[in-house]
Copies of this chain bind each other. A is one copy, B any other.
Amino acid sequence: MRVVCLAGGVGGAKLADGLQRALEPGELTVVVNTGDDFERHSLLVCPDQDTVLYTLAGIAEPAQGWGIAGETWQVMSQLARLGEETWFRLGDKDVATHLFRTERLRGGKRLSAVALELCAALDVPSRILPMADEPVRTRVRTDDGWLDFQDYFVRLRQAPEVREVRFEGADLSSITPEVEEALAGAEAIVVAPSNPIVSIGPILAVPGIDEAIAAARARGVRSVGVSGIVGGKALRGPADRMMASLGDEPTALGVARRYASMGLLDVFVLDRLDESLARDVIALGLEVVVTETVMTDVGARVQLARDVLAATLPPA
């Protein structure tokens, strides 16, 4: 069953890992957010792509969910000695990924082609595709003005309230041949429990992606989304606060509303903790599946993946 999963960072990577384990090799394509990408110390860093890459390659640091297991920090400590700002900490092994990627991009390759080379190099049986080859950069407006995403996310630790979000460059980007092909051949679409505003939002802002999803759904492919907000709290990151400060309800229902307003989903997956929201989600025109959505271990990733895959089948 060919599945396309839209994903951001850690939460998306966990569900993608469950899907990869539940599917046959080669059946999964993950389309990752590139709005968080940025240039750092002359390198292009792609946090969401790499979190998914390391997770699907089985080399992710298990505790924190991002970075490579057994990472060391010599490059960073020397950069600090040279007086460089080191609030975005790149591990030594992680630097190798950025060197590999940056060299090829400077040589004229597309980001998508390099992403597939990285999958091959790390024996990942799935395809991890950036949402676009052109740079799209998420920026957030706070009370102190517009900030680059990582400035807000890492340096300021998401302390400021987000008043507005934009995806710079999205209007100049377009769906890649690889994403187009994946969606054209998809038998199911999964929207991972990632931040709906700054992880899934940028993907849908790339011209052509929403049309390709709509075209797949028009031919009967079902699209299933999982809430990354459970019990009114984001499982990770600032999604709840960001929803609230942008005027959305900071709950799974708020997430469902956002996706429903885009006509993105057939089915919405709620955590058992949010079962009481099912009626309101159904009222949005979505089917609802209630299950355990908090992926505390690999078994839970696979179980959620199976529940999601079951939901992509048309109701009997």
Q: Which residues of A are at the interface with B, using a C-beta cutoff of 8 A?
A: 41-43, 68, 72, 74-79, 81-84, 92-93, 95-97, 99-100, 102-103, 106, 118, 121-122
26 A-B pairs with CB atoms under 8 Å apart are: A41-B99, A41-B100, A41-B102, A42-B43, A42-B99, A42-B102, A42-B103, A42-B106, A68-B78, A72-B72, A72-B74, A72-B92, A74-B74, A75-B75, A75-B99, A77-B93, A78-B95, A78-B96, A78-B97, A79-B96, A79-B99, A81-B121, A81-B122, A82-B118, A83-B121, A92-B92
Q: How many copies does the complex hold?
A: 2
A41: contacting residue among B77, B103, B118, CB under 8 A: B103
Q: How many Å lie between the Cα of A118 and that of B106 in the bound state?
A: 25
A79 neighbours in B (Cβ, 8 Å)? 96, 99-100
Is chain A's interface secondary structure helix, strand, loop, or mixed overall?
helix
A42 neighbours in B (Cβ, 8 Å)? 42-43, 99, 102-103, 106
Known: A72-B72, A75-B92, A92-B92. A82 touches B43 (CB 8 A): no
Known: A43-B42, A100-B84, A106-B42. A93 touches B75 (CB 8 A): yes
Q: How many Å lie between the Cα of A90 and that of B171 in the bound state?
A: 39
Known: A42-B103, A92-B92. A97 touches B82 (CB 8 A): yes
| Closest residue of B by beta carbon distance from A102 | B42
A99 neighbours in B (Cβ, 8 Å)? 41-43, 75, 79, 95
A68 neighbours in B (Cβ, 8 Å)? 78
Q: How many Å lie between the Cα of A42 and that of B81 in the bound state?
A: 22
Q: How many Å lie between the Cα of A282 and that of B92 in the bound state?
A: 54
A74 neighbours in B (Cβ, 8 Å)? 72, 74, 92-93, 96
Q: Nearest Cβ in chain B — how far from A61, in angstroms?
A: 14
Q: Nearest Cβ in chain B — how far from A54, in angstroms?
A: 11
| Closest residue of B by beta carbon distance from A99 | B41
